[in-house]
Amino acid sequence: MTGCGVVKMKGEVGKIFGETSSFEFEFVVFNPRDVKRGDYVKVWNDVEGWIVAYVTDVKAKSDFSSEDVIKGRNVESEIYVAKASVIGKRENGYLRAPRTPFVPGEKIFLAEEDLVADVLGMSQEGAYIGLLGDTSVRVRLDINSLVQKHVCILAKTGSGKSYTAGVIIEELIEKGVPLLIIDPHGEYSSLRYRNDVSEETERMGEFGIKPRGYDSIRVYVPPGSPFADRADGVIHLDGRNLDAEEIIELGNITSSSAQALLYQVLKDMHDYTIDDILSRVEGEKHSSKAVILGALTKIQKSGLFSENPTPLEILLQKGRAVILDLRGLDPVYQDLIVARVCDRLFDMRKREEIPPGMIVIEEAHNFIPERGFGKAVSTQILRTIASEGRKFGLGLMVISQRPARVDKNVISQCNTQIILRLTNPNDINAVRKGVEGLTAEMVEEVKRLPPGNAVVVSPELERPVIVRVRVRKSRHGHAVEIFGGRKSGKTKRKEVKSESRNQSQSGLFKRIFGG
């Protein structure tokens, strides 16, 4: 390898060569074992001082020509060349990029972890989600920003999105943030129990954490849930004033004439119950009357609606993380529950009847679908919370394995974005369009991320970074077999997903959550 005869300073790993700018440069790597893609390096700039850069690529080159190949000559030497993107330096609390280009021949050194943490703006407080790249630098995200400005977690199935969501939820619970978790698959009730999976507990020392379960968790289910005996309570909704769209969806009314009849019946009704609608339809002389009556009877028999509905303020309260376990429920009813619950909570939060907090939406593509990928009655209220919730202290955490199918306006409203591995071209394109500050190199990185690694974009970080997501303190939902026996620590867990339906100002949050 060339470079072996070069005189080096202690700690020097390469030298700049070729054309440079103040934004990027290339450098010859002396030893390929010392520098790899994803490393942070520093270089001296005669005007600005020490500047930190990020290694975006490393390539091997040689002077081996096509003629050499034809003649069967052996390669005797190769050159390793790294490409680096300039981050800058921290000065008076602000990141500054150099204003002059780097000089070819300048020496390159690996950057110290303290310097990298300082330049990237790593906080000493906040939600601890993992370690920066291959370093031991802890990545913490500001609690106020997470709640106030929303979060999205995007990844293909099996890449760890629900696991990563669990890590953030643990941190929010520990910081006292009220949470409502919409859980279509029953994954999150395991937060109650300590993580005892051996392969994970063995790695806890690496992240500086210990196993822990959370006894502040409460689980509620809808009527008829097969898991009601394990829940803390059953949720009943107020059946008053169901609108036509809700009844059409719940009753699966596909006939246009039946839909027209329903709209006509409801047009002059105010403050009504399902029984009131039934009585009104009974009096109609219409060929679609039986369809409407059948749909309304089906809704009544579901048991979801009651004259004595559950007070929904129990779903978002101080010192609690409440899980709404929707397993086994028809997706149409899941949609309506999410719509009704979120609408009511947003209304109560605007009147300050409940504390500031966050709603976690798992399988978000089912509840906030992008136009052209289905309809959901919950879409409108979730869009409203995404755009207006920060003014009133109600945050969203949006989780999905199909970014292309999630409303792009909602994704764009999430200032903190955590992206694990994606391979579907449509999903990658959706992320590229919806995530600000994501470079072409980072987009390519997303395609190759190993499980447990994520690209994190946050207003608190100066640039997108790759994070090794920490081990969970509590047990992950899929660490439990269907029939109750836990998998051994040596068994690789797989996330099994159903794709059946594919400003309150920051001061408010600082008073409530600190920071």
pLDDT band at 485 (very low <50, low <70, confident <90, very high): very low
Residue 439 lies in a domain: yes
Residue 220: pLDDT above 90? yes
Adjacent-strand bridge partners of 132: 467
CATH, residue 104: 2.40.30
Residue after which a domain boundary falls, among 279, 301, 323: 301
Q: Are residues 288 and 398 in the same domain?
A: no
71 with 179, same domain: the answer is no
Classify residue 3: in a domain, yes or no: no
* Region of poorest pLDDT, from 86-95, 368-377, 474-483, 503-512: 503-512
For β-strands 94-96 and 79-91, DSSP reports them as: antiparallel
The mean per-residue pLDDT over the stretch 296-325 comes to 92
Task: Clarify whether residues 347 and 277 are in a common domain.
Answer: no
Same domain, yes or no: 326 and 285: no
How much is the average pLDDT of 19-37? 91
404 close to 386: Cβ distance less than 8 angstroms: no
Domain annotation covers residue 271: yes
Residue 19 or 435, more confident: 19
The answer to whether residues 204 and 340 belong to one domain is: yes
Q: How many domains, in total, are found in the chain?
A: 3
Predicted confidence (pLDDT) at residue 496 exceeds the cutoff of 70: no
What DSSP letter does each residue of 375-400 carry, written as one string? --TTHHHHHHHHHHHHHHTEEEEEEE
- Identify whether residues 268 and 316 lie together within a single domain: no
373 in any annotated domain: yes
Q: How many CB atoms lie within 10 A of CB 459?
A: 14
> Rounded to 5, what percent of the chain is helix, strand, coil?
35, 25, 45
In a domain, 268, yes or no: yes
368 and 460, same domain (yes or no): yes
Last residue of a domain, one of 120, 139, 168: 120
- Owning domain of residue 270: 244-301
- Per-residue pLDDT tens for 270-299? 889 999 999 999 988 888 999 999 999 989
Tell whether 406 and 454 lie within a shared domain. Answer: yes
Residue 7 resides in a domain:
no
The last residue of a domain, from among 120, 139, 162: 120
Count of helices and strands (H, E) across the chain: 16, 21
394, pLDDT greater than 50: yes
Which of residues 167 and 93 earns the better pLDDT score?
Answer: 167
| Average pLDDT estimate for 450-472 | 91
49 pLDDT tier (thresholds 50, 70, 90): confident
Higher-confidence residue of 108 and 512: namely 108
DSSP 54-113: EEEEEEEE----HHHHHTTPPP---EEEEEEEEEEEEETTEEE--SSPPPTT-EEEEPPH
Asked if the structure places residue 437 within a domain, the reply is yes
Residue 162, domain CATH: 3.40.50.300
Based on the domain organization, do 107 and 163 belong to the same domain?
Answer: no
Same domain, 170 and 115: no
452 and 374, same structural domain? yes
Q: Is the model's pLDDT at 89 over the cut of 80?
A: yes
pLDDT of residue 461: 86
180 lies in a domain?
Answer: yes
First-to-final CA distance of the chain:
51
Nearest to 438 by CA among 450, 209, 351, 422: 422
- Percent residues over pLDDT 90 in the chain: 59
* Judgement on whether residues 83 and 157 belong to the same structural domain of the protein: no
